[in-house]
């Protein structure tokens, strides 16, 4: 069901990505260790040219990639997205030296990146960061504190770390640092999550950084974080939609062939209406995601609200669609290893990370009232 805004070439590219995900990426994903970085999978994404495309394409391309990969291989989608999330601050705000040192390896799939924003006491309230950057000499700091729920931790090769350089300044006192994994004092541990993504904690014990490691400007790191999230939030929705479309297609196939009560499931009105509702919600959410991505690429002024709307609707929709798909499949979908059992675990996380659904509603309301005041 292609959206009206996509060109035939884009639809063909999405079909090719789904094929590559199924034939080349899924076998590598199956060989990976749950909850750990799958470097062969990351390297294959690099060989296919998808990682380097993160830095040459816009938000719409990012959404199409994430949706298409998620349809056939959620692990490949996650590996691509985490590379982009960790490396985008370097691409957008790094110095020429930082970009030359790290981005070629990210694009090739030989260097693993990570985005280190959340802390035990600062998840949804990102401005409450407590990780301390204590001055150390004329142009250096020592980072001390803990990060948690960090993508690709503790196995990444470098981290975009957000630390407080000015105490008591809220969002205005945060600085973004590029921290290589081999810096002294930097350790971490993996976390065992419901969906086995490579996520962990970081402990920073007086980790040394200098002005050469700053991304952007000192005390302006919150802009780096929010700019990254504004780009990636619609694509989180695209990730969720890829899973929703896979669940919908599986449900169409199952209800068309399954006999029950003397007829095919699809011939029962209650089932047919349920499937119609699933399709309706998926298409509505997909159009909102594509609109938000297009707004980002065009530099529209309402990107934060559009991004929040897209992420919110798409992730909530995917949760609904996957849940209904499981219900219509019955007990078989609850068996470990069934594609829907896998999607049921995968689909829960996007409603939380990169800003929970409640945070997105807060952003939307804030932007609406700000617009009202501007119209005065």
Catalytic residues: 354
Q: Which residue bears the tokens 């094929």? A: 19
CA distance 302 to 265: 44
Angle at 286 between CA 27 and CA 316, to 5 degrees: 85
CA distance 368 to 302: 10
DSSP assignment string, 76-91: HHHHHHHHHHHHHHHH
3-state helix, strand, coil in the chain (%, to 5): 60, 15, 25
Angle at 42 between CA 181 and CA 223, to 5 degrees: 55
CA dihedral 162, 165, 166, 171 (to 10 degrees): -10
CA distance 2 to 15: 11
CA distance 134 to 180: 18
CA distance 354 to 84: 13
Burial class (CB in 10 A: 0-12, 13-18, 19+), 372: exposed
DSSP strand pairing (132-135 vs 113-116): unpaired
- In angstroms and rounded to an integer, the radius of gyration of the C-alpha atoms of the chain is 21
Q: Is 56 helix (H, G, I), strand (E, B) or coil?
A: coil
CA distance 273 to 181: 52
């Amino acid at each position: 069901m292609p959206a009206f805004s996509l060109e035939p070439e884009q639809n063909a590219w999405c079909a090719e990505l789904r094929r590559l995900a199924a034939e080349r990426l899924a076998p590598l994903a199956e060989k990976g260790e749950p909850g750990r970085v799958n470097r062969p999978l990351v390297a294959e994404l690099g060989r296919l040219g998808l990682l380097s495309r993160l830095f040459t394409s816009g938000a719409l391309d990012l959404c199409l990639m994430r949706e298409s990969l998620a349809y056939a291989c959620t692990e490949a989608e996650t590996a691509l997205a985490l590379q982009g999330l960790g490396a985008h601050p370097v691409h957008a705000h790094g110095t020429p030296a930082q970009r030359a040192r790290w981005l070629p390896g990210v694009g090739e799939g030989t260097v693993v990146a990570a985005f280190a924003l959340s802390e035990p006491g600062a998840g949804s309230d990102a401005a409450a960061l407590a990780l301390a950057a204590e001055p150390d000499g004329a142009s250096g700091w020592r980072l001390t504190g803990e990060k948690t729920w960090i993508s690709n931790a503790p196995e990444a090769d470098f981290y975009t770390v957000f630390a407080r350089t000015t105490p008591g300044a809220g969002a205005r006192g945060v600085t973004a640092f590029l921290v290589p994994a081999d810096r002294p004092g930097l350790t971490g541990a993996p976390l065992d999550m419901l969906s086995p993504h490579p996520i962990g904690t970081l402990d920073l014990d007086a980790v040394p950084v200098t002005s050469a490691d700053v991304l952007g400007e000192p005390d302006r790191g919150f802009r780096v974080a929010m700019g990254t999230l504004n780009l990636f939030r619609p694509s989180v929705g695209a990730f969720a939609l890829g899973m929703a479309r896979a669940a919908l297609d599986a449900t169409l196939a199952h209800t068309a062939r399954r006999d029950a009560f003397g007829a095919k499931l699809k011939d029962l009105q209650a089932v047919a209406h349920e499937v119609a509702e699933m399709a309706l919600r998926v298409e509505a959410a997909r159009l909102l995601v594509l609109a938000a991505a297009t707004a980002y690429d065009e530099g529209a002024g309402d990107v934060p609200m559009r991004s929040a709307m897209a992420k919110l609707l798409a992730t909530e929709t995917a949760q609904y669609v996957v849940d209904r798909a499981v219900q219509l499949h019955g007990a078989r979908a609850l068996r470990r290893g069934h594609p829907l059992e896998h999607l049921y675990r995968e689909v829960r996380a996007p409603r939380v990370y990169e800003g929970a659904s409640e945070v997105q509603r807060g952003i939307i309301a804030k932007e609406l009232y700000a617009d009202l005041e501007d119209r005065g």
